[in-house]
């Protein structure tokens, strides 16, 4: 009997990326109103893009496609990291929130790199 294909939602990296997105939404609720259509939107879009690209890539069915979308997710993670640093420097988020989100973001990035490296050796 063939082993059933794992869904993207079974991937720990996707689950962590969803948590990261929720944290990004939580902290951006505290940002000034004038940032609503600027930094808040950018951070939320970058955060949402990470699990979305993991899901899309996993659903494509090939290691090459999956790797491509994981790299796109890494790009979004870099965007979010930059925006998080800026928001912290502008004192829009607390040091505790910055550390929490930054730590989760680092974990997601490490996991993405590990999967990309594993996929690279299997091609």
CA 87/CA 43 separation, integer angstroms: 10
* Strand, helix or coil for residue 112: helix
CA 24/CA 14 separation, integer angstroms: 15
pLDDT value of residue 2: 47
CA 113/CA 79 separation, integer angstroms: 16
Q: How far is CA 96 from CA 92, 100, 113, in A?
A: 12, 6, 26
pLDDT value of residue 115: 96
Where does 2-123 have alpha helices with state H? 12-28, 39-60, 63-89, 95-122
Model pTM? 0.92
Across the 123 residues of the chain, what is the mean pLDDT of every consecutive 10-residue run? 69 98 97 95 98 96 94 98 97 96 98 95 53
CATH T-level topology, domain 11-122? de novo design (two linked rop proteins) (1.20.1440)
């Amino acid at each position: 009997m063939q082993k059933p294909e794992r869904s993207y939602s079974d991937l720990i990296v996707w689950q962590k990326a969803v948590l990261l997105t929720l944290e990004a939404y939580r902290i951006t609720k505290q940002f000034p109103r004038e940032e609503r259509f600027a930094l808040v939107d950018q951070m939320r879009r970058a955060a949402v893009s990470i699990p979305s690209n993991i899901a899309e890539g996993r659903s494509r069915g090939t290691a090459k496609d999956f790797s491509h979308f994981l790299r796109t997710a890494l790009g979004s993670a870099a965007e979010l990291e930059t925006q998080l640093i800026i928001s912290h420097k502008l004192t829009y988020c607390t040091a505790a929130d910055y550390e929490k989100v930054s730590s989760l973001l680092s974990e997601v990035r490490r996991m993405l790199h590990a999967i990309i490296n594993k996929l690279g050796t299997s091609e």
